[in-house]
Amino acid sequence: MPIRPTPDRVILNDGGGYGGGTEWKSDGYEDNTGKTAASDSGAKNNYTTKTCKLVITYNKNGGTGNPPPQQSRIYSGKLQAVTMKETVKDNINGMTKTGSHFLGWATSASGEVAYNPGDVITGSWTASQSGTKTYTLYAVWTDTNTIEYRPDDNSNETQKKYSKNPLNTAVNLKGKTFTRDGYTQTGWATSKNGPKVYNLGQSVTFTTDDLVILYPVWTVNTYTVTLKPNGASGSDITIQLDYGSELVLPLTAYEKYGYHIREWNDEKNGTGATWIPGQEYAYTRPEDSTLYAIWEGNDYYVIYETGSSANHPVIDTVVGDLSSDWQLDANDNLYSDNVHLIAEGQPYENYLYGVHPGELVFRIDEENVPYSIAKYGSPFYTERRPYPKDKMYNSFDGWIADDGSVLVKSDEKFDAYTYTSDPIWRLTRDVILRSKWNAFYQFGKIFYGNGYSDEYGIYVEEPPSYAWPEHSVTHQKVNGKNGDVLIDLNRYENVKKTYKISAYDGVDFYSAARKVSEWLHRHYSDQYLRLEDSYEPDIYMLAIYEEANELENIFAKAGRSEISFNCKPQKFLISGDKEIKVANSGQIITNPTYYPAHPIIKFYGDGTITVNGSEIVCYHNYNGITFDSETYDSLGEGGYNMNPYMVAEDPVVLYPGENIITFEGNIYGIRIVPRWWRL
């Protein structure tokens, strides 16, 4: 155990184990830790008596005054190995040297500090060693001071910098030494994140050789964000803000007729980084920015009044000043600060509205009134001919605009402002289109591909039979089990749909026959086409023409036959082709059928969309993506393949009943075509 004897002679009695006492002589602290010997007296008596001495002397090395006195420690006795220790003294007698400061002790006159006051010097002897070990320590004097410039946790650099300076002499501290994104170094502190103590380059004088540690002091930079109208009227707008502070870009910084700001972008053509108006950003660019307004045409409502009593929009009056600008909010709803809409006492949120500035307000019940949304400045087509139940046996002549002018027929390009025949149409306002009907014979009609049977003089004499698809099940025979084991293949077989038709075009039988052939064979036979009829106006099927009997010649004027289509088993609801806008995360979409539907999802922005727990993750989505959950194909604007930028879990399905749609990130403008179906 350690022993602290008085600084004179000390008798250490080993209790008889070594056959007697062990004599030590010391003038300082004594520690016998490390002395080893045999564990019994007999073993000790086998060693020869020896003397070991540890001596430390001090040299003032050019200084004046007296160095500390010599230290010595002596062992005499029988031990196998000996270890003795002495503690190095400080400058206890106050030695001095002009222009210098005592720094520590070296092992040579010109050496660096090897021992500081309080360090321990150890002398060790093996069983065969004895004698004196002398350590001479030389005073180390210094006439310089060391400054350590140390980066803090926010600095871009990690390496420290040093400078040695003469004592009692004015020196200039370093200037800007470290960098930090968004900040400028403006001084030096004596503690990490501490207050400024010294300015950059400040003249200071140090009188001791103590190590001085300095840390950078930071001042946040201010940057300028310049907004450019990019094709709209108005001057540049500048925003001054500190690095890291909140930036919210405006929705309506400029005006461009028929357009709204979809986003702000680093590039004039919209290929750079995207900034969404109204969204909060932490500005972490260590530089100024120039952002360009990226414009998108406003959505206008085209409302189709089909003639059915349930399909009339209600025209209401407007209370307020319609001279104010109407805008689209984040959910694509029209709003104005100065206008209030009256709709038979119903809340505004329950309806879609189209607005003629200064004229009328259309209130549209989404369940009963068909409508479409067309974008300003973009061509669009009128809807195909409608099939209201009370107009089943009438021919459709075309659409009449709300100003009374006669418009084009279905599937032709339409311009809601000029109603011209120019092939490039431009929609500049909301409009109501009313269907024009003429009474017709009570025959049925078929729509196949993109043509109506009556346009080719073909009419259906009676409704087709109702065919149910076969459910695919494999029957597996298993030894030892009675009956078959059924394996559900989770699919339905195609069905055959046959129509009895009459053909008459007002010319002759052969002319009518050619038109039947043209109608049936105008499309390729390797793809399914849309098939509808007037008997089930709320559904359509995907079919391919398969066969027809010979066309029976009736008085050389008309013909009669049966035609058959090979159809996929699903009967798709026409209402399932209508887009559903997802305005809020957590929105519920209800599947009205008993069958799971694979929707088409259209959206803009980067982030994650979740459909009943299945995630769709996308990135680099600058111009919008259309994702087909049945084929798992993702297409961008212009039909570009966006599959490399999409990851979707399987399955993405809208189940019967309620379905929850959530989204996060920079996702916006979500529209879902549910594609409901039944058998």
Of the pLDDT bands very low, low, confident and very high (cuts 50, 70, 90), residue 26 is very low
Q: In this structure, is residue 68 part of a structural domain?
A: yes
- Which of the pair, 321 or 251, is modelled with greater confidence? 251
Q: Report the Cα 281 to chain-centroid distance in Å.
A: 13
Judgement on whether residues 405 and 513 belong to the same structural domain of the protein: no
The strand pairing partners of 643, in sequence order, are none
**Dist. CA 118–CA 92, nearest whole Å:** 12
Q: In this structure, is residue 3 part of a structural domain?
A: no
**Dist. CA 644–CA 310, nearest whole Å:** 46
* Edge-to-edge strand ranges of the sheet holding 607-611: 587-591, 657-665, 607-611, 614-618, 646-648
Which pLDDT does position 16 carry in this prediction? 30
Judgement on whether residues 368 and 355 belong to the same structural domain of the protein: yes
Judgement on whether residues 455 and 540 belong to the same structural domain of the protein: yes
Which pLDDT does position 371 carry in this prediction? 53
Which pLDDT does position 566 carry in this prediction? 92
Please answer whether residues 336 and 353 qualify as being in contact, where contact means their C-beta atoms are separated by less than 8 angstroms.
no
pLDDT digits 0-9 by tens, 489-532: 888 999 999 998 888 877 788 888 888 888 888 776 778 999 99
Judgement on whether residues 13 and 114 belong to the same structural domain of the protein: yes
Last residue of a domain, one of 409, 439, 469: 439
Judgement on whether residues 492 and 543 belong to the same structural domain of the protein: yes
185 lies in which domain range? 144-220
Q: Which CATH number characterizes residue 263's domain?
A: 2.60.40.4270
pLDDT(339) > 80: no
Judgement on whether residues 158 and 105 belong to the same structural domain of the protein: no
Judgement on whether residues 469 and 598 belong to the same structural domain of the protein: no
3-state secondary structure 353-368: EEECCCCCEEEECCCC
Q: In this structure, is residue 4 part of a structural domain?
A: no
Judgement on whether residues 670 and 579 belong to the same structural domain of the protein: yes
Q: Which of 26, 10, 38 is nearest to 73 (CA)?
A: 26
Q: What percent of the chain has pLDDT over 90?
A: 33
Judgement on whether residues 153 and 176 belong to the same structural domain of the protein: yes
pLDDT(11) > 90: no
Q: In this structure, is residue 633 part of a structural domain?
A: yes
Judgement on whether residues 15 and 132 belong to the same structural domain of the protein: yes
Across 235-255, average pLDDT: 90
Judgement on whether residues 283 and 342 belong to the same structural domain of the protein: no
Judgement on whether residues 89 and 205 belong to the same structural domain of the protein: no
In degrees, to the nearest 5, what angle opens at C-alpha 420 toward C-alphas 418 and 421? Answer: 160
Return all residues near 42 (Cβ < 8 A) that are at least 6 apart. Answer: none
Q: Which CATH number characterizes residue 154's domain?
A: 2.60.40
pLDDT(428) > 60: no
Q: Which of 146-160, 326-340, 502-516, 632-646 has the lowest mean pLDDT?
A: 326-340
Please answer whether residues 609 and 601 qualify as being in contact, where contact means their C-beta atoms are separated by less than 8 angstroms.
yes
Q: Which CATH number characterizes residue 628's domain?
A: 2.60.120.860
Q: In this structure, is residue 1 part of a structural domain?
A: no
**Dist. CA 59–CA 39, nearest whole Å:** 42
Of the pLDDT bands very low, low, confident and very high (cuts 50, 70, 90), residue 423 is very low
Of the pLDDT bands very low, low, confident and very high (cuts 50, 70, 90), residue 115 is very high
Last residue of a domain, one of 142, 164, 193: 142
Say how many domains are in the chain: 6
Last residue of a domain, one of 142, 158, 180: 142
Q: What CA–CA distances, in Å, run from 354 to 228, 318, 336, 366, 456?
A: 30, 12, 13, 13, 37
pLDDT digits 0-9 by tens, 378-415: 555 555 444 443 444 455 555 665 555 544 443 343 43
Q: Which of 530, 525, 560 is nearest to 447 (CA)?
A: 530
Q: In this structure, is residue 490 part of a structural domain?
A: yes
pTM (predicted TM-score): 0.41
pLDDT(344) > 50: no
Across 240-259, average pLDDT: 87
**Dist. CA 21–CA 23, nearest whole Å:** 6
Of the pLDDT bands very low, low, confident and very high (cuts 50, 70, 90), residue 556 is confident
